[in-house]
């Protein structure tokens, strides 16, 4: 069994370790490095690096601090996504960094998430809205500062006072150990990492042989013009350059054609 170090203040090894153990990697969690200095969800520390860059910095730091050859870093982000703000979107990245021979793998998972801020006009509404998010912890911003990691019971206690000013806005605490919905997405990213580590180039046997590229534009079945659909998935070996392409659509649908359906 190989050993890898994970840099996390927020107990992410609970999501990553079981998945990686299945493929022969034992995880050691390093929690004494303050990852918050790289940026926080609540905004006290601005995020200057992209999520991928940040995950790589954490992975390298994990290897350095543990003295192990392999380090892991994980970083999540909210917002964006294909539905353009209609749905809240969560992306989780897990980066693996191996010092020698050098290897960097970015695994990820993304999808819509129900997590959002909630606004309530009274205590009953507040309780009812929080109950949609079991075990999720909350953030309350007040004049004195930010209260983080509040359980439902703590939020209720805090808003029972007669002087509570309604409406009240709660933000979800997005740190991994406080957000069950995020934990599910982190676990999916861990699964993607496990799959990438097991997916090897047929030419040179390098790992991370994964279809990261898409080719668009199959010929429209009516007019032959390239449509906006994904035509094929392309896998490029990062070691030897071997390329494989898997065709998803031989012809395009006129509904996605700018000529037939402008």
> Does 237 interact with Zn ion (rule: CB under 5 A)?
yes
**Which tokens is 29 given?**
């969690």
Please state the closest distance from residue 48 (CB atom) to Zn ion, in A: 34
> Does 244 interact with Zn ion (rule: CB under 5 A)?
no
> Does 255 interact with Zn ion (rule: CB under 5 A)?
no
According to DSSP, the β-strands at 243-247 and 2-7 are unpaired
Q: CB neighbours (10 Å) of residue 59?
A: 28
CA–CA distance, 197 with 118 (Å, rounded to integer): 39
> Does 202 interact with Zn ion (rule: CB under 5 A)?
no
**33 vs 256, beta carbon nearer Zn ion:** 256
Please state the closest distance from residue 212 (CB atom) to Zn ion, in A: 14
> Does 260 interact with Zn ion (rule: CB under 5 A)?
yes
Please state the closest distance from residue 22 (CB atom) to Zn ion, in A: 25
Among positions 101-160, residues that touch Zn ion (CB under 5 A) are: none
CA–CA distance, 136 with 139 (Å, rounded to integer): 10
**93 vs 201, beta carbon nearer Zn ion:** 201
Stated as kind and residue range, the H or E segment containing 54 is helix 51-66
**97 vs 210, beta carbon nearer Zn ion:** 210
**128 vs 245, beta carbon nearer Zn ion:** 245
Q: Environment class of residue 208 by beta-carbon count within 10 Å: exposed (0-12), middle (13-18) or buried (19+)? A: buried
CA–CA distance, 96 with 90 (Å, rounded to integer): 20
Binding site for Zn ion (CB under 5 A): 201, 203-204, 206, 220, 222-223, 225, 237, 239-240, 242, 254, 257, 259-260
């Amino acid at each position: 069994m190989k050993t890898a170090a994970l840099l996390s203040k927020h107990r992410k090894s609970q999501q990553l370790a079981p998945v990686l153990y299945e493929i022969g990697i034992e995880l050691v969690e390093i929690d004494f490095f303050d990852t918050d200095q790289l940026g926080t969800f609540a905004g006290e520390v601005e995020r200057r690096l992209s999520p991928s860059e940040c995950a790589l910095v954490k992975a390298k730091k994990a290897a350095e601090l543990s003295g192990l050859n392999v380090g892991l870093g994980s970083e999540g982000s909210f917002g964006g996504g294909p539905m353009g703000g209609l749905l809240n979107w969560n992306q989780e990245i897990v980066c693996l960094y191996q010092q020698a021979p050098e290897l960097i793998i970015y695994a990820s998972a993304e999808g819509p998430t129900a997590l959002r801020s909630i606004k309530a006009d009274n205590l009953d509404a507040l309780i009812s809205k929080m109950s949609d998010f079991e075990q999720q912890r909350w953030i309350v911003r007040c004049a004195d500062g930010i209260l983080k990691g509040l359980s439902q019971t703590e939020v209720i206690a805090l808003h029972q006072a007669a002087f509570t000013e309604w409406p009240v806005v709660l933000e979800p605490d997005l740190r991994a150990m406080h957000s069950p919905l995020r934990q599910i997405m982190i676990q999916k990213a861990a699964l993607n990492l496990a799959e990438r580590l097991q997916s090897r180039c047929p030419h040179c046997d390098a790992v991370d042989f994964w279809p990261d590229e898409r080719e668009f534009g199959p010929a429209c079945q009516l007019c032959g013009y390239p449509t906006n659909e994904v035509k094929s998935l392309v896998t490029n070996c990062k070691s030897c350059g071997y390329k494989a392409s898997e065709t998803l659509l031989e012809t395009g649908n006129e509904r996605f054609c700018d000529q037939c359906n402008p």
